[in-house]
Structure 1
Amino acid sequence: MVIGAGGQIGRPVVQALARDGWAVTAASRGGARDAAWDEGVRSVRLDRADGTALAAVVGDGCDLLVDVVAYDAGHARQVTGLAGRIGSAVVISSVSVYEDGAGRGFDTMGEPDGFPDYPVPVPETQPTVAPGEATYSSRKAALERELLARGAGLPVTVLRAGAVHGPYSPLPRELYFVRRNLDGRRDRVLAYRGESRFHPASARNIAELVRLAAARPGSRVLNACDGQAPTVAGIGAAIDAVMGVETRTAHLDGPPAGSVGQTPWSVPRPVVCDMSAAERELGYRPVVSYAESLPETVEWLTGVLHGRDWREAFPLLAQAYPDLFDYAAEDAWRTA
C-alpha cells in the first residue's frame, strides 16, 4: 500500500513497486491513477489524517506500507498502531532534520549567521533537531523518532529526501531557469558565484530506494538523494541544454542583492548528503542522473505554465520565493 500515491514521489513509487511484482494499492486523497501505472494497480481514496480510514484501507494487512506524506509524530503513531498488520514500512522524511555542531539547521537559515555548516557530505549519523511541533523540521524529527522507537516490532526504513525534483512537484525549483528561458531572458545573475550546491533528489531515484528497501526490510535511516549534487550554475546550464538556448551569467561573489541573484538553490554553504550507506545497505545506484531527468521535468513545467500565471500554477513556490522573477530589479542592477 502506498499512501500519497497521487503526488510527485508517490507516482513513480507505485510504478517501481508494480514493475517489481508487488500487488499495489495506491491511496490518495483524490484516488487518482497515473497513466504509467500497470493495470493491476488498485487505486483508492484516502484522507491521510483519518486514522480510522487508514486502518480500514489496510484491512487484514499488507506486506509493505509506503508513506510518502507522513508529517509528524501523530502520523507515525497511526502507522505503528497497525504494526500487527504490516510486514514492514518505508516512510519519507527530509534532510531538513539535520543540524550542525552549533545547533544551526534549516530552521535558523533566516537568522544572522544562521545557515548551518554541515560536513561534506552529510552522513546519517549527523545530529538532528529536537523533535517537536513548531516547524517542518522538528515535526519530521518527531516522525522519525516515533517510527524507530518500535524497533524490531515494525521494520521501518526512513528515507531522508533532499531537494526533490521531477514532474508533479508543488515546489519545482527548476522553474527558475525554465520560465526565464520561456520569457526570452538570456541574461541571469547568480549569487555565491553560482557555486551553491543543494543536493537534489529525483522522485524516480527515491522510488528506486523504496523498491530496494521493500525487498530488504529493516529499521534504518538513509539519505535519499541523487548520485551527484550539481552547482546552481551547472543546473542552469543543463536546463539550457534541454531547452536549446544560450544564456549569459553574471555572478555575485556573496549573497543575493535583494532578489537579484537569489535562486531556490542559492546557499552560502553546501548541503551535500552522503549516499554511501544506501549503496552499502541496499545496493542503491541512481536510476537517473540530474541531467537525464530534466527533459520530462522541462516538458511538464512548460505544459503547466501554458496560459497561466506561475503564482497560480505553483502557489507554494510563490509563497516561498515571492520575488523569484523580479526582472525589473535584475535590469536595474545591471545598469547601476
Structure 2
Amino acid sequence: MVIGATGQIGRVAVGALARDGWEVTAVSRGGGRDASWPGEVHAVRADREDAAALAAAVGDGCDVLVDMVAFGPAHARQLTSLADRVGSAVVISSVSVYEDDKGRNFDTQAEPDGFPEYPVPIPEEQRTVRPGDTSYSTRKAGLERELLDAGGRLPATLLRAGAIHGPHCRTPRELYFVKRNLDGRPRRVIAFGGESRFHPASVHNIAELIRLAAARPGTRVLNAVDPDAPTVSEVARAIDEVMGVETESVLVDGPPPAPSVGDTPWSVPVPVVCDMAAAERELGYRPVVRYAETLPETVAWIEERLTGRDWREAYPKMLQSYGDLFDYTAEDAFLDR
C-alpha cells in the first residue's frame, strides 16, 4: 500500500513496486491514477488525515506500507496503530533533520552565523534536531523518533531525502533557471561563486530505495540522494544544455548582494552533501539515474506548467517558500552597477 500515491515520489514508486511484482494499492485523496502505472494497480481514495478512512483502506492488512506524506509524530502514531495489520513500513523523511555539532540546523540558517556546517558527506549517524512541533524539520525528527522507538512492533525504513527533483514537483528548484531562459535573460547572478552544493534526490532513485527496502524489512534510517551533488553553476549549465541556450553566469563571491539577487534555491554557504554508503551496504542499492539524465523530463514538465500562466499561479508553493525569484528590476540594477 502506497499513501500519497499521486504525488511526486508516489507516482514513480507505485510503478516501480508494481513492476517488481508487488500487488499495489495506490492511496490518495483524489483516488486517481497515473498513466504510467500497470493496469493491475488498485487505486483507492482516502485522506490520510482521516484515521478511520486510512484504517479502512488498509483493511485486513498489507505486507508493506509506503508513506510519502507523513510529516510528524501524529502520523507516526497513526501508522503504529495499524502495526498488527502491517508487515513493515517505508517512510519518507528529510535531510533537514540534521544538525551540526554546534546545534545549527536548517531552522537557524537565517540567523547570524546560523547556517549549519555539516561533515562532507553527512552520515546517518550525524546528530539531528530535537523533535517538536515548531517546524518542518522538528516534526520530521518527531516522526522518525516515534517510528524508530516502535521498531519492535512495526519495522520501518526512514529515507532522508535531499532536494527532490522530477516532474510533478510543487517547488522545483530548476524553475529558477528554466524561467530565466524562457524569458530570454542573457545573464544570471549566482551567489557564493556558483559553488553551492545542495544534494539533489531524483524521484527515480528514491523509488529504487523504496523498492529495495520493501523487500528487506528492517528498522533503519538511510540517506536518499543522487550519486552526484553538482554545484549550482553545473546545474545552470546542464539546464542550458537541455534548453539549447547559452547564458552568462555572473558569479558573486559570498552571499547574495541583495535579497532577491543571486539567491538561487540551491544557494548555501557550505556544502550539504550526504553519504549513501549505508544504503549500498544494507540494501544493495545502486542509483538508477544521475541528475543530468533526468533534467529533460523535469524541464519539459516545468515548461508545460508555465505555458500561458504566471509562475506564481503555476507554482504558488514556490513563491511561498522562496519569495520572488524573478525580481529582474533588482537584478538588472545590480548588473548595471
TM-score w.r.t. the length of structure 1 is 0.99
**1:266-299 CA distances to partner (integer Å, 9 max, x unpaired)?**
0001000001101111111111100000000011
Counterpart AA for 1:279: E
Deviations 1:55-77 (A, max 9, x none): 10000000000000000000000
Paired amino acid for 1:274: D
Q: Offset at 1:32?
A: 1.3
Q: Which amino acid aligns with 2:114?
A: G
Deviation at 1:217, TM superposition (A): 0.6
Query: Counterparts in 2 of 1:1-336, with a 5 A limit?
Result: 1-258=1-258, 259-336=260-337
Q: State the 1:320 CA deviation.
A: 1.5
- CA distance in 2 between counterparts of 1:110 and 1:315 reads 22
1:48: how far off?
A: 1.1
Q: 1:150 Cα deviation (Å)? A: 1.3
Please tell me the residue identity of whatever aligns with 1:330: E
Q: Structure 1 runs of 4+ off > 2 angstroms?
A: none
What is the aligned residue count?
336
Give the Cα–Cα distance (whole angstroms) in 1 for the partners of residues 181 and 58 of structure 2.
46
User: TM-score, with normalisation over the residues of structure 2?
Assistant: 0.99
% identity of equivalent residues: 70
* CA-CA distance at 1:112 after TM superposition: 0.7
* Structure 2 Cα separation of the partners of residues 76 and 207 of structure 1: 21
- 1:104-142 CA-partner distances (Å, limit 9, x unpaired): 000001111100000000000000000011110000000
**Does the residue aligned with 2:189 lie in a helix, a strand or coil?**
strand
Alpha-carbon distance in 1 for matches of 2:210, 2:336:
50
- Tell me the distance in 2 between the aligned counterparts of 1:106 and 1:46: 32
Q: CA separation in 1, counterparts of 2:249 and 2:57?
A: 52
Q: Distance in 2 between matches of 1:221 and 1:321?
A: 29
CA distance, structure 1, for counterparts of residue 44 and residue 286 of structure 2: 31
Give distance in 2, aligned partners of 1:151 and 1:263. 39
What's the offset of the Cα at 1:323? 2.0
CA distance in 2, matches of 1:186, 1:288: 30
Q: Post-superposition shift, 1:330?
A: 1.2
Q: Which amino acid aligns with 1:207?
A: A
Instruction: Give the distance between the partners of 2:151 and 2:287, measured in 1 at CA.
Output: 28
For residue 242 of structure 1, report the CA deviation from its aligned partner: 0.5
Unaligned ranges ≥5, structure 2: none
Matched residues in 1 for 2:335 and 2:55: separation?
58
Determine the C-alpha separation between the residues in 1 that align with 2:302 and 2:162.
20
Rounded Cα–Cα distance in structure 1 between residues aligned with 2:202 and 2:39: 25
The residue identity in structure 2 corresponding to 1:293 is: T
Let me know the Cα RMSD of the aligned residues: 0.6
Distance in 2, matches of 1:239 and 1:99, equals 31
1:334 & 1:270 partners in 2: Cα distance? 27
Partner SS, residue 70 of structure 1: coil
Distance (whole Å) between structure 2 residues aligned to residue 149 and residue 334 of structure 1:
53
Alignment partners' CA distance in 1, 2:154 and 2:265: 37
Distance 1:203 1:263 in 2: 21
Deviations 1:235-261 (A, max 9, x none): 001101111111111111000012111
